[in-house]
Each structure stands twice: as structure tokens, then as C-alpha cells.
């Protein structure tokens, strides 16, 4: 039988810059067996700088600007950690991350680009937007340009980047508002880095675009919508940005690596002073052959970096990177026109923009058409029924991998009733009530098959998911044991992985007031994380059978995690929507439970059987019917669109059974979507519902909503309006 090879080396890419994006794409076509690849990036997408002026001018959409790192990591078999690296400890071989426990590395590369010096200018941090990093800038510009009213813009920095932004902003605004004005400010002479002929043509282009150029103008500080100059004059501006003074991220100098003005010094192999660490793109300084900061070098570094990283992991030889002496500069002029500069020659016109557009789109296209891992064919000789058992799609992780309700109910119904007087089963609940002395203790277990390659994220989700049963019963979490299966890996990697999992689980449980008291670990084919938990009830537990007719139904989290994770697996979901779904699954329910438990007549957590299935359990136990208001049910971003496109979780068909009276629409299908670490569903007195929803919003459960009501009728019936 074929087993995947054990993991033995950790390769970590810090930053989703252009070089790393290309390395991931090449890795996807020929991964190195035994290497675990990790990418750390602040967000699920990385903007492509070449298309930023076109986006600012309105020629490209925001989606066209972004490389989807979730899909790219998936294709490469890499884990994506959404967070910012904040330090490297060379002695322990670990990388610190702001959203995540530290992770270990054997070989690493840094491609985090540069940030802006602008925040050093007094008042800039509060009253302006730096042009770097690109992601936050693009989002703020998108909001601003769609507003009506006055539009005066100040751009601090008279280099090529400032000129491109000025003309792009002018073009975008003047098409809607001819009175808009754009000012480009430089403390020295603008465009001084360009050859004279190019600088002259660019000055003419700025004039044509209606940009006011203010040179040799020293800014003392910024205040609300105002730029203050050393000569005591001011400029009123509705949007102030800065495209000057790019600088490296501060933490690089604290790593102990050799740096030059804060940039990581690398040799001809792109290797830093520590042979385990490489650096590329704008954050690196090539000591052997210094070059200006330009994306073209980053792109050319990718094949050399991939070769050298692989060589470090396999004890191979390194290749030198030889930067080209000159490169083609293509500068956008706002409208669909551009200026080209190479070998001292300057050319301009719409044809140059078309050329630049073709180059940029070709670069981005390679991230839209990613290689697929081929599915091995079924053996020719096989037992009957294999196709049916495999089903039409790969098995989902999380709650999407659960057994269907009918199989589970049938098996449980064959068990004998408890023989012990101190065990009180709770019909329809996933937990039991233990009566010890005068103490009421609830006991539950839950485990998840991994659906996301980051063990710490899976640990956070699995822990919140398991706590759901305790919170739903109105109990306070007490003690937990963990059961963990790791994929086959070397002891060193297993040690790192277990530390990440336990650190994360402990953080969540400590916050909930519970302690880890032990556990069990084993090696297997894939990561699974399970928890058994106890909780203490000071009052009678909240069960499924206490709901009253007329009660309002409150749901604390949006639904759609099943379809989103299934679509992430097939690379149909957008990275941004995947990240939103993960964030929802990592939100704890403790505060929501404490708010609801005084008033909840019945409560459950919405997990594998979907909203309709878990609501049906309340209805059956309480001998009532329910009506849901379909439009009131909160949905995760992208869930309904994916449902419309035919995406669904592997547990969906089983959850749909028995609800033939509910019409089949993309939105109604999500009622049967299996949820992982889903929200609490509570039946509360009608008179208290609105107050409780407002209180939930105030506690950070921004999607909490009234979604329907209970009423007399056939026990267990769920309808929609």
C-alpha cells in the first residue's frame, strides 16, 4: 500500500512577494518529497505592484490586482499562515508571528517588500495613507474614489511612484469630477532618478494630466485634511498619501542577520549571513551587485531562489544570481498611455500602455491557471460499490467528514440504556449529564479531520468546536483531554507541530476557564484533533426539550462553512472568503453563551447536521414546529454564490434527507450545510429577543440575528418563509 513519505524538513517563506509567489507556482509543479512548505503573509491575497497605477486609475478591478495566496498555497500543498512575521530567533530556529505561536524552520526565505518612511512625518500616521504596503492603500483608495463631493489630493514624494500615482488619481477623479485637483509635492527636484529625456516627457505628462507639481517644498507636519509647509503656507486636501522614503521593516535589524541600512544583506546566491536564510525582492540588499528596488529583479530571482532553497534541503550545490545591467521601465501616465525607458531611449503613447498591460496580465494569468494534482485512477480489479462509497467528490474535512445523521442515530439506538444511576442521558444532545455527589457535570467529546494545512488554526477551531456542546448546555468548561493524530514526520517536526497545537488549545481553554489534563497522540495518514471535555453546571443544564411555543430563535454566527471549505478544497472559493470563514470558526462562543443562558429555554450548537438538522432536534425534543425566515439567516461571504455554482459539502446530501418540503434554492441549500465550530442556536422568550441580539452585537457577534420562531404543530417539523 502506498504511504506518503514522512516530512523531515521545514521550509518557510516569509511574505507573499512576487518572488515567493513564483516559487510557490513552480513548487506546485514539482514539490520536494519530505519538505513541509509554509507561507506567512499578513492577508489571504498579495497585490501585484505592476498593476497598482492601473487599479488606481480605474482600469483594473481590485480582484485583478490581487494574487490569491490561498489558492496558490493549496496548489503547492503549502500551509498558509495569515499573519505578519515579527522576528526571527536564529538560536532556536523559530519565526515569531503576530497571530500565531512561533514556528520552526530549517531553511527560510524573506520576501516582505518595503514599508513607508512617511509615518515618521509628524501627523502622517493619523491623517494620511502610506502607498506601501499596497493592500491597505488600495482598499482605502477604493472607498475614497467612490465618494461624491470635493476631491483635492496631496501626494508626498516626487519620484516615479509618486508621478504614476498622481496621474492615475487625476484620471480616476476627473472622469467623475472635472473640478478635482491633484498636487504632487517633493522636498527636492522631482523625478531626479530618471534620465533627462524621460524626466522631461514625464513632466509634460503630469501637466497634461492636470497634476500640480510643487518642488523644493519642505513639509513640517500634517493635520486634519491639511499639509503644512516650512514657509508657513498650507494645502487643504481630502486625501493625503505618501509615496516617498521607502524603508525596510524594523524587525529585520533585530534578527542578528547582517543588514545594510536595515535591508538584509545577501550574497550572489541570495543567501544572508546565516546560511539557512535567504532574502529577495525589495527587502534584500545585493552586496555583490547593488541594484535599485524594482520588481523586475524579484521576478528574475525566482528560479534561482527555488533552486537554492531545494539545494539547501537536499545538500545540493547553489547557483549564483546575475542581475541584468539595465531593465525596461514602463511608467503609466494615468489614462491608457505609458512611457517606456531603456538604454537611455524614451518612447511614449497608447501602444506602450498596451504592451505594459500585456506583460502585467501575462504575469497574473499564471496565478489564475494553477496546476492540479492528478487524481490516481481506480484499480481495474476492485470490489463492487467502491464508486458509490467514494461519492462524487473528495471527502470534506471538519464536520463535513461526519457520518450522516441516519447512520449515527441507527447505531446509537441499539445501545442499552445507562446501567449507572449517576449518568443521565440527554435525548438528542451530544453530551451526558453526570451526577457526582451534589455536583452536576456535563461530559462531551468531539474531533475534527483537518481541512486547513495550519495545525494551530485547526487546534483553535477544534477547541472552540468541542467547547460548543459545553456552552450550549449552560455549563462552565472544566477539564479537557486531547487526542491528536499527526501525519508521519520526523521527531523534530512532530515536536514543533505538537507545541503549536498544544499552545493554541491551551490559550483557548484557559480563556474559557478550563485546563488541559492530558491526552493521547499517534501518527497516521493525516492530522486530526479531538477533545474530550467536562463542564460544571451550577443550574439545571439547558437541554433541547425546554422550548416553549412562541419562542424566538437566535443564531449567533453566520452559516456556510461547509460549502466554503469544500470550495476551498476544489479552489473555487476566493482566498478572502476562505479567510473570513476561518475567522468565523475561530470565534469563541463563551461570551454569547453567558449572555443567552439566563433566558434560553433550549439551546444547541450548530455543527455537522446543519442549521435545519439541529433545529429539528430542538423541535422533536420540545414537541414543536419551527418556521425560519430565510432572508434573516446570516450567511458567510461567498457561501450563497458558491451554492449557486453547485458547490456543496460531502455531508450535504445526507443532511438534506427528510426535508423534501423545503424548496431547493441556492440559499435554502445552506440550511443543510454542515457547520464546523458553528454558532449557538437558542430558543428565547419573544419579548427578550431584540435586547439579546443587541447585546450579542455589542459583544462582537456582529452577525447574530433573530432567524425565526417556534410554534405548535407536528413535532420536529421545520418550514421556511
> Active-site positions?
399
Q: Please provide the DSSP assignment of 506-533 as one string.
A: HHHHHHHT-EEEEEEEEEESS-EEEEEE
Residue pair 127/143 in contact (Cβ under 8 Å)? The answer is no
SS3 of residue 439 by DSSP = strand
Residue pair 624/711 in contact (Cβ under 8 Å)? The answer is yes
Name the DSSP class of 271: B
What is the rounded CA–CA span in Å between residue 195 and residue 547? 78
Helix (H) or strand (E) holding 611: helix 610-622
Sign of CA dihedral 620, 622, 625, 628: negative
SS3 of residue 428 by DSSP = coil
Residue pair 615/676 in contact (Cβ under 8 Å)? The answer is no
Q: Which residue has the cell 435545519?
A: 612
What is the rounded CA–CA span in Å between residue 505 and residue 657? 35
Measure the CA angle with vertex 512, ends 510 and 517; round to 5°. 50
Residue pair 561/677 in contact (Cβ under 8 Å)? The answer is yes
What is the rounded CA–CA span in Å between residue 563 and residue 400? 9
- CB neighbours of residue 415 within 10 Å: 8
Residue pair 315/282 in contact (Cβ under 8 Å)? The answer is no
Distance (Å) of CA 213 to CA 99, 141, 155: 42, 21, 10
Sign of CA dihedral 572, 580, 634, 614: positive
SS3 of residue 699 by DSSP = coil
Q: What is the dihedral of CA 143, 144, 149, 155, to 10 degrees?
A: 180
- CB neighbours of residue 144 within 10 Å: 17
Q: Residue 483 is placed in which grid cell?
A: 487526542
- CB neighbours of residue 484 within 10 Å: 24
Beta strand 226-229 with 718-720: parallel, antiparallel or unpaired? unpaired
* CB neighbour list of residue 664: distance below 8 Å, 6 or more residues apart: none
SS3 of residue 148 by DSSP = coil
What is the rounded CA–CA span in Å between residue 617 and residue 602? 10
- CB neighbours of residue 6 within 10 Å: 14
- Length of the chain counted residue by residue: 721
SS3 of residue 40 by DSSP = strand
- What are the backbone dihedrals phi and psi of residue 621, each rounded to the nearest 5 degrees, phi first? -70, -35
Residue pair 495/561 in contact (Cβ under 8 Å)? The answer is no
**Cis before residue 133, ω within 30 degrees of 0?**
yes
- CB neighbours of residue 418 within 10 Å: 11
* CB neighbour list of residue 86: distance below 8 Å, 6 or more residues apart: 96, 97, 98, 251
Q: Residue 613 is placed in which grid cell?
A: 438538522
Amino acid at each position: 500500500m502506498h504511504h506518503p513519505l514522512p516530512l523531515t524538513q521545514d521550509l518557510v517563506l516569509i511574505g507573499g512577494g512576487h518572488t515567493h509567489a513564483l516559487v510557490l507556482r513552480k513548487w506546485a509543479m514539482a514539490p520536494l518529497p519530505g519538505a513541509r512548505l509554509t507561507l506567512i503573509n499578513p492577508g489571504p491575497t498579495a497585490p501585484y505592484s505592476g498593476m497598482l497605477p492601473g487599479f488606481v486609475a480605474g482600469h483594473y478591478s481590485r480582484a485583478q490586482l490581487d494574487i490569491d495566496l490561498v489558492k496558490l498555497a493549496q496548489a503547492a500543498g503549502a500551509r498558509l499562515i495569515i499573519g505578519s512575521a515579527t522576528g526571527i530567533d536564529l538560536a532556536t530556529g523559530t519565526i515569531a508571528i503576530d497571530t500565531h505561536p512561533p514556528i520552526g524552520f530549517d531553511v527560510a526565505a524573506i520576501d516582505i517588500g518595503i514599508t513607508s518612511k512617511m509615518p515618521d512625518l509628524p501627523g502622517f500616521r493619523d491623517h494620511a495613507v502610506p502607498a506601501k504596503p499596497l493592500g491597505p492603500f488600495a482598499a482605502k483608495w477604493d472607498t475614497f474614489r467612490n465618494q461624491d463631493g470635493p476631491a483635492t489630493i496631496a501626494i508626498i514624494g516626487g519620484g516615479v511612484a509618486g508621478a504614476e500615482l498622481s496621474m492615475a488619481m487625476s484620471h480616476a477623479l476627473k472622469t467623475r469630477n472635472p473640478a478635482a485637483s491633484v498636487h504632487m509635492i517633493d522636498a527636492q527636484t522631482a523625478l531626479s532618478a530618471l534620465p533627462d529625456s524621460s524626466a522631461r516627457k514625464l513632466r509634460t505628462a503630469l501637466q497634461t494630466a492636470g497634476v500640480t507639481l510643487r518642488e523644493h517644498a519642505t513639509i513640517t507636519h500634517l493635520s486634519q485634511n491639511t499639509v503644512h509647509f516650512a514657509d508657513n503656507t498650507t494645502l487643504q486636501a481630502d486625501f493625503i498619501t505618501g509615496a516617498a522614503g521607502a524603508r525596510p521593516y524594523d524587525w529585520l535589524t533585530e534578527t542578528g542577520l547582517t543588514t545594510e541600512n536595515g535591508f538584509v544583506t545577501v550574497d550572489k546566491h541570495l543567501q544572508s549571513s546565516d546560511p539557512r536564510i535567504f532574502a529577495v525582492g525589495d527587502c534584500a540588499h545585493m552586496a555583490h551587485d547593488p541594484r535599485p528596488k524594482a520588481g523586475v529583479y524579484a521576478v528574475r530571482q525566482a528560479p534561482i531562489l527555488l533552486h537554492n532553497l531545494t539545494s539547501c534541503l537536499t545538500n545540493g550545490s547553489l547557483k549564483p544570481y546575475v542581475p541584468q545591467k539595465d531593465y525596461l521601465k514602463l511608467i503609466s501616465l494615468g489614462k491608457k498611455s505609458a512611457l517606456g525607458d531603456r538604454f537611455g531611449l524614451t518612447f511614449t503613447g497608447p501602444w506602450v500602455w498596451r504592451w505594459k498591460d500585456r506583460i502585467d496580465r501575462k504575469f497574473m494569468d499564471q496565478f489564475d491557471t494553477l496546476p492540479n494534482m492528478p487524481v490516481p485512477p481506480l484499480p481495474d480489479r476492485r470490489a463492487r460499490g467502491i464508486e458509490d462509497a467514494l461519492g462524487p467528490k473528495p471527502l470534506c474535512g471538519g464536520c463535513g467528514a461526519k457520518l450522516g445523521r441516519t447512520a449515527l442515530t441507527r447505531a446509537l439506538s441499539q445501545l442499552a440504556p445507562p446501567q449507572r444511576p449517576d449518568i443521565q442521558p440527554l435525548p438528542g444532545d451530544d453530551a451526558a449529564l453526570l451526577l457526582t455527589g451534589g455536583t452536576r457535570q456535563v461530559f462531551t467529546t468531539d474531533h475534527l479531520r483537518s481541512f486547513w494545512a495550519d495545525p494551530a488554526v485547526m487546534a483553535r477551531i477544534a477547541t472552540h468546536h468541542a467547547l460548543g456542546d459545553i456552552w450550549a448546555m449552560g455549563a462552565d468548561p472544566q477539564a479537557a483531554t486531547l487526542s491528536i493524530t499527526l501525519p508521519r514526520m520526523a521527531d523534530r517536526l512532530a515536536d514543533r507541530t505538537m507545541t503549536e497545537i498544544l499552545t493554541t488549545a491551551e490559550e483557548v481553554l484557559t480563556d474559557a476557564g478550563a485546563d488541559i489534563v492530558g491526552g493521547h497522540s499517534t501518527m497516521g495518514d493525516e492530522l486530526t484533533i479531538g477533545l474530550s471535555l467536562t463542564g460544571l453546571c451550577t443550574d439545571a443544564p439547558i437541554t433541547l426539550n425546554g422550548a416553549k411555543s412562541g419562542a424566538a430563535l437566535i443564531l449567533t454566527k453566520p452559516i456556510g462553512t461547509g460549502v466554503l471549505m469544500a470550495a476551498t478544497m476544489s479552489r473555487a472559493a476566493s482566498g478572502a472568503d476562505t479567510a473570513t470563514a476561518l475567522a468565523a470558526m475561530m470565534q469563541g462562543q463563551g461570551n454569547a453563551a453567558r449572555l443567552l443562558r439566563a433566558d434560553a429555554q433550549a439551546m444547541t450548537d450548530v455543527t455537522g447536521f446543519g442549521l435545519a438538522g439541529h433545529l429539528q432536534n430542538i423541535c422533536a425534543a420540545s414537541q414543536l414546529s419551527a418556521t425560519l425566515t430565510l432572508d434573516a439567516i446570516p450567511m458567510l461571504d461567498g457561501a450563497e454564490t458558491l451554492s449557486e455554482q453547485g458547490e456543496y459539502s460531502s455531508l450535504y446530501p445526507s443532511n438534506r434527507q427528510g426535508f423534501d418540503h423545503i424548496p431547493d434554492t441556492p440559499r435554502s441549500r445552506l440550511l443543510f450545510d454542515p457547520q464546523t465550530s458553528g454558532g449557538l442556536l437558542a430558543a428565547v422568550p419573544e419579548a427578550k429577543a431584540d435586547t439579546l441580539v443587541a447585546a450579542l452585537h455589542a459583544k462582537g457577534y456582529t452577525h447574530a440575528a433573530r432567524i425565526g420562531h417556534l410554534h405548535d404543530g407536528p413535532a420536529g417539523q421545520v418550514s421556511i418563509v
